[in-house]
Amino acid sequence: MPELPEVETVRRVLQERYVGQTVTAVALGKPTFYRPPPLAAIKTLTGGVIAAFKRRGKYLIVALEGRGEVVFHLGMSGRITVGGESPHVRFQMWIGTEAVRFHDSRRFGRVGCPLPDLGPEPMDPEFTADYLWNILRKRTAPVKALIMDQKLIAGLGNIYATEALHAANVRPGRAGKSLRRAEVEKLAAACRDILSLGVKAGGATLDDEAFLDPLGRPGRMQMGVQIYGRTECGTCGGAVIGTRKSIGGRASAYCPSCQR
């Protein structure tokens, strides 16, 4: 959290509001992130005219006219707001007369980080059942860990991977190579469909309100989840249980009746 739909929601708000405007100043909070923005990123942003806000996987990218791009990563708890105060403002930039602030209570977010090698996103043309089959068919790692590996598939995190596996009727702890071809085809479609639903819903805002869009508006995806954060399966009404061990460093839930 935030995952592809949340970052895309942020991107769309900033794109509509600030394209063509100038970054007049930037400032770091005290304390700042664990890895403060490099000087090159500060210099690129200051005085730059915004050409576009882009996104790759979970990364937000600010493209500046004639100056290249600056990559943002929201980490585990990052939020970007138009105005807004909190004790956790790590970075802010003024676009025109408005302050755009990066809040991050856990300080793992980044500004000016390199864009890593990322796999295709589930909505990309190259993400096909064949692509997913080749990723999974020889691997013993849990399928959930594999589809959350950003080098293999960009954009899926705990919420949307949990929902996609439920939609495909696949348990998260199964070895990748244990999936039959028909299951892989169903999972590929589910990854694409679940992320598309998340984007359409403006992301997921859970009880802690860790995600709100830059204007403070909540997403709606949480109202349609079938398994994540629930005690009863949204499909069959059965009890939701957790795997004995975390998968990919995250707690994992599934419905033993719907998922095999």
Catalytic site residues?
A: 2-3, 58, 250
SS3 per residue for 38-88: CHHHHHHHCCCEEEEEEEECCEEEEEECCCEEEEEECCCCEEEEECCCCCC
The torsion angle over the Cα atoms of residues 180, 182, 185 and 187, rounded to 10 degrees, is -70
Please tell me whether residue 145 adopts helix, strand or coil conformation.
Answer: helix
C-alpha distance across the termini of the chain, in Å: 26
Helix axes 158-167, 181-200, angle to 10 degrees: 130
Beta bridge partners of 247: 250
Bond before 5 cis per omega within 30 degrees: no
Taking Cα atoms as reference points, which of 137, 131, 133, 130 lies closest to residue 119? 131
Residue 36: other Cβ atoms inside 10 A: 17
